[in-house]
Amino acid sequence: MTMQEIYAKVAAPEYDFLQKDKNLGDKIILLALGGSHAYGTNNETSDLDIRGCALNTKRQLLTNESFEQFVNEETDTTIYSFNKLISLLANVNPNTIEILGCRPEHYLYVSPVGQELIDNSHLFLSKRAVYSFGGYANQQLRRLDNRANRLVGQAENEQHILKTITHASYDFKNRYFPMSEEDSIRLYIDKAIQEDYDTEIFMDVVLHHYPLRDYKCMWSEMQSIVKSYGKIGKRNSRAIEKNKIGKHMMHLVRLYLMCFDILENEKIVTYREKEHDFLMDIRNGKFLDENQQPIPEFTELVNDLEKRLDYDKENTSLPDNPDFVKINDFVQSVNERIVKDEI
């Protein structure tokens, strides 16, 4: 689909909600391509995904009225509110940070405030990318596993589960009641107690005067990750039926590559021009066997990518956290102009 065809499609009646929805219209500051068209990995069957941002209204800023995001599933369109998008960007959320790194021609609309947001994209880059992108990459990796033909053995699979939980729990301290210096939740792998397991994850928990509900939420998140690994076989079977194994493999590699750009070059590069042919080879099955399962060479590739991520984690010049003072200054500047009817 050419850009001319994309503009024509977005101008069709099925996208009228962009103008008619009360939270969109002239409040939209960014509209960009998302998904495979944004990555440059689209083919003739690829759907058109649209991502964007809309300013919160004066009423929403001054009252309890809220708007976080608009989703239209029929057209694969997601528009985030400005305040919601900022919070996601501050955590280097892969689904949103890519909006700020598109090719210029892949922006369907950019307002002056939208350009300010793009120009300030560096404010959101931090080591949090290791955990956000690492978590998403592990989700893609889980989709590739299959009971009949495992990408990794049980012991190594347990390592992946632990790494996924570690990534997911990185910001527990920001979302739940803070632990004291005497408190800790330690997860580690040791010789298994369960039958049919070589190793398994254990935990040592020391908490004092800690809110039960917060602990329950943290436990639920960790439990959900463990349970999700038990559903892999069914997911994998469906992916094979729909010929999507190669697509999952490609996105796994793409996530790592985008994360490396952030950690090593402090840049957001959504369109993967340099790696296009390699990524398309993965998508088209170059690393799949006759049973539509990843071949050992792909496992080696993923292991190398994980080692590079571990190295970048220790050697990147990015700070542990983004500069929240500057981010809040920018947000205040935009929202003050909204309240004063200047934008």
Q: What is the widest separation between alpha-carbon atoms in the chain? A: 66
Tens-binned pLDDT, residue by residue, of the chain (343 aa): 899 999 999 999 999 999 999 999 999 999 999 999 999 999 888 999 999 999 999 999 999 899 999 999 999 999 999 999 999 999 999 999 999 999 999 999 999 999 999 999 999 999 999 999 988 887 677 656 543 334 456 787 788 788 888 877 877 877 888 899 889 999 999 998 887 788 999 999 999 999 999 999 999 888 888 877 765 444 444 444 446 789 989 999 999 999 999 999 999 999 999 999 999 999 999 999 887 888 889 989 998 999 999 999 999 999 999 999 999 999 999 999 999 999 9
Residues of the chain with CATH 3.30.460.10: 3-125+322-339
- pLDDT score of 230: 64
- Output the pLDDT for position 14: 96
CB 133 within 8 A of CB 255: yes
Phi/psi of residue 285, each to 5°? 100, 15
pTM: 0.78
Which position has the token pair 């979302």?
175
205 near 192, Cβ under 8 Å?
Answer: no
CATH superfamily label, 3-125+322-339: Beta Polymerase, domain 2 (3.30.460.10)
Distant-in-sequence, close-in-space partners of 132: CB < 8 Å, separation ≥ 6: 91, 92, 93, 94, 167
Q: Which residue, 103, 157, 148, 86, is CA-closest to 324? A: 86
Residue 125 tokens, joined: 């880059």
Structure tokens at 77: 């369109």
Give the tokens for residue 96.
């949103």
Between strands 107-110 and 28-34, the pairing is antiparallel
Measured CA to CA, the distance from residue 84 to residue 90 in angstroms comes to: 10
- What's the pLDDT score for residue 174? 75
C-alpha span between 114 and 170 (Å, rounded): 30
